[in-house]
């Protein structure tokens, strides 16, 4: 009668293989959904339903884990580049690998495949070489964090050296940002918005009478539709010093935080196009208001 030893060993090996597969699949899924920067061992363990020690027991080093991911991905979807997952440990060092990985991911492959070819076009034009073409895990490049398609549309050679260098040329960086904002509706000489006060009664009236905007970005849904300044004044919105809203203000939407409120104008939408987050757009606007500008006679009434 055969001993039970070999069967126990096989069962143990099968269990070990199953756990390794769960960890590998969890890592692949996290890399695709949240990016390599957030694909930590703790996150992988939670996703796989195991503890950190189990992950380390099966994959003592991150390199072993990423090699397993690469092998698993090639088995599911054959890829031309066997080292494509090498971008995971440090995507800043392997921008092209990170972008190629996203192009392979079937969920948004069409978008990122086009971005990958745009990145190759940038290299072909000679604006940057591959070694210095650094970007994020999601494909955004340089100091300005342009996607390759945005680079081709909006990057500027402001210093006149023949290259549109958004990585290391301050002149090109700021000119490219300005060109991007202009291309998304920024109007020179116009304000972005201004802070206002909203009483409790005014807040209730606004919630009842003013609708919310629609949009694909959460920030655009977390603001009101545009209203004439006369409407805001009728609802009880005032300046921070308690004064009445100037009749010359353009039509505006309202953005409200926990304690502060802002009427925002057309230029604010251009800021949201750059980074669709109110914390970002309002911070940029408030910082810009504090910069000296002798040509700006539109002083804020505090």
81: pLDDT strictly greater than 60: no
Give Cβ neighbours of residue 48 (< 8 Å, ≥ 6 apart). Answer: 19, 22, 23, 25, 26, 55
Q: pLDDT tens, 260-271? A: 999 999 999 999
Tell me what the mean pLDDT of segment 36-60 comes to. Answer: 82
pTM across the whole model: 0.66
Contact 132, 167 (CB under 8 A): yes
86: pLDDT strictly greater than 70: no
- Torsion angle of alpha carbons 175, 178, 182, 188, nearest 10°? -110
CA 151 to chain CA mean position, Å: 16
Q: pLDDT tens, 230-252? A: 999 999 999 999 999 999 999 99
Is the CATH code 3.40.50.2000 the one for domain 5-89? no
More confident residue, 269 or 75: 269
Smallest CA-to-CA distance from 18 within 58, 45, 66, 51 is with 58
Residue-by-residue DSSP string for 36-95: GGG--HHHHHHHHTS-HHHHHHH-SSHHHHHHHHHHHHHHHS--S-TTGGGGTT-TTT-H
pLDDT confidence tier of residue 297, bands split at 50, 70 and 90: very low
pLDDT of residue 139: 86
More confident residue, 84 or 212: 212
138: pLDDT strictly greater than 90: no
78: pLDDT strictly greater than 60: no
* Least confident interval from 83-87, 103-107, 129-133, 278-282: 83-87
pLDDT of residue 282: 96
- Cα separation, 28 vs 197, whole angstroms: 48
pLDDT of residue 8: 67
Listed in order, the ranges of the chain carrying CATH 1.10.357.10 are: 5-89
């Amino acid at each position: 009668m055969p001993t039970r030893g070999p069967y126990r060993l096989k069962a143990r090996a099968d269990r070990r293989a199953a756990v390794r597969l769960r960890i590998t699949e969890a890592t692949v899924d996290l890399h695709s959904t949240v990016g390599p920067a957030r694909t930590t061992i703790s996150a992988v363990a939670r996703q796989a339903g195991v503890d950190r020690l189990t992950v380390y027991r099966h994959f003592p080093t991150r390199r072993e884990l990423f090699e397993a991911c690469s092998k698993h991905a090639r088995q599911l979807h054959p890829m031309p580049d066997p080292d494509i997952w090498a971008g995971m440990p440090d995507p800043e060092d392997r921008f092209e690998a990170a972008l190629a990985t996203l192009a392979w991911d079937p969920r948004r492959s069409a978008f990122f495949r086009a971005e990958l070819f745009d990145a190759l076009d940038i290299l072909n034009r000679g604006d940057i070489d591959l070694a210095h073409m650094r970007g994020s895990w999601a494909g955004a490049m340089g100091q300005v964090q342009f996607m390759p398609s945005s680079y081709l549309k909006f990057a500027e050679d402001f210093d006149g050296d023949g290259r549109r260098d958004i990585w290391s040329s301050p002149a090109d960086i700021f000119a490219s940002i300005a060109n991007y904002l202009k291309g998304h509706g920024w109007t020179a000489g116009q304000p972005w918005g201004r802070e206002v006060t909203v009483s409790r009664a005014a807040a209730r009236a606004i919630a009842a009478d003013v609708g919310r905007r629609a949009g694909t970005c959460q920030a655009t849904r977390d603001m009101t539709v545009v209203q004439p300044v006369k409407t805001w004044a009728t609802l009880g919105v005032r300046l921070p010093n308690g004064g009445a809203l100037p009749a010359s203000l353009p039509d505006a939407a309202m953005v409200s935080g926990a304690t502060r409120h802002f009427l925002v104008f057309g230029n604010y939408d251009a800021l949201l196009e750059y980074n669709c987050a109110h914390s970002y757009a309002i911070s940029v606007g408030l910082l810009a208001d504090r910069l000296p500008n002798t040509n700006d006679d539109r002083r804020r009434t505090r």
